[in-house]
Amino acid sequence: MENSEVIKLSPTTGFGLFRNCPRCFWLHYNENVHRPRGIFPSLPGGMDLVIKKYFDQYRGTLPPEISGKVKGNLITDLKLLNRWRNWRTGLKYKDEKLNATLFGALDDCMEYEKRHIPLDYKTRGFAPKEGDSERYYQTQLDTYALLLESNGYPAGNFSYLVYYYPEKVDKGGIVKFNVEPKEIPVSAERAKELFVEAVKCLRGPIPARHSNCEYCSWGNNLVDFD
């Protein structure tokens, strides 16, 4: 990728892929060779929409199931939050020297001691295991802290994941969910460092194959990049 080309990255497709396999990341952005995608489940997306509507009823306070379990309250400005929820109008971090932009869409945000606290909803089939939150979502939450900070919204040093996972089904098809908030430390500086590494990767030569990445063999067989 030429230095004159603007690089646009997100915490999910961009950073997630870069941390998983730099070679697949390079191929995705530089050669338009994407990993095969299976059928995307619609249930998590549907849950995300109804949870957003539910949380919006508690602007300035908290839903009762997490009250007393988290610090702060939901931000009151729904108009601002709806902009942040859309990646087209959401928060962006630009590095003019790198000619690169980082963008992301928040699920929700809280305020605590004049700091902005990212909050993200997660729907899954079972309770999160120890270390799952940091392993799978640390970079995403770090990025949200960076996006808030760089746009003039002081971020705290922690964030929240709110997990929804099913407990039982009652008559009429009513599913009862367990709701479990997890506090996760965040670092805007860590996200910035990863951003620089990812951009340098894209500007440089194709990385070597990742020994643990099954997609590298698939991509190499499709087009010979060596």
pLDDT tens for 73-123 read 999 999 999 999 998 898 999 999 999 999 999 999 999 999 999 999 999
Query: Is 7-222 assigned to CATH 2.60.40?
Result: no
- Range list of H helices, the chain: 13-20, 22-30, 43-55, 78-84, 132-150, 188-203, 214-222
Quote the CA–CA distance of 94 and 206 in Å, as a whole number: 24
Tokens of 111: 């305020």
Quote the CA–CA distance of 123 and 24 in Å, as a whole number: 27
The pLDDT score that the predictor gives to residue 219 is 53
Q: Phi and psi dihedrals of 73, rounded to 5? A: -135, 160
Is the pLDDT at 163 greater than 80, yes or no? yes
Categorize the per-residue pLDDT at 42 as very low, low, confident or very high, splitting at 50, 70 and 90: confident
The pLDDT score that the predictor gives to residue 221 is 58
Please compute, for residue 118, the number of CA atoms within 13 A of its CA located in the half-sphere on the CB side. 31
The pLDDT score that the predictor gives to residue 223 is 55
CA nearest to 104, candidates 149, 50, 62, 164 = 149
pTM of the model: 0.90
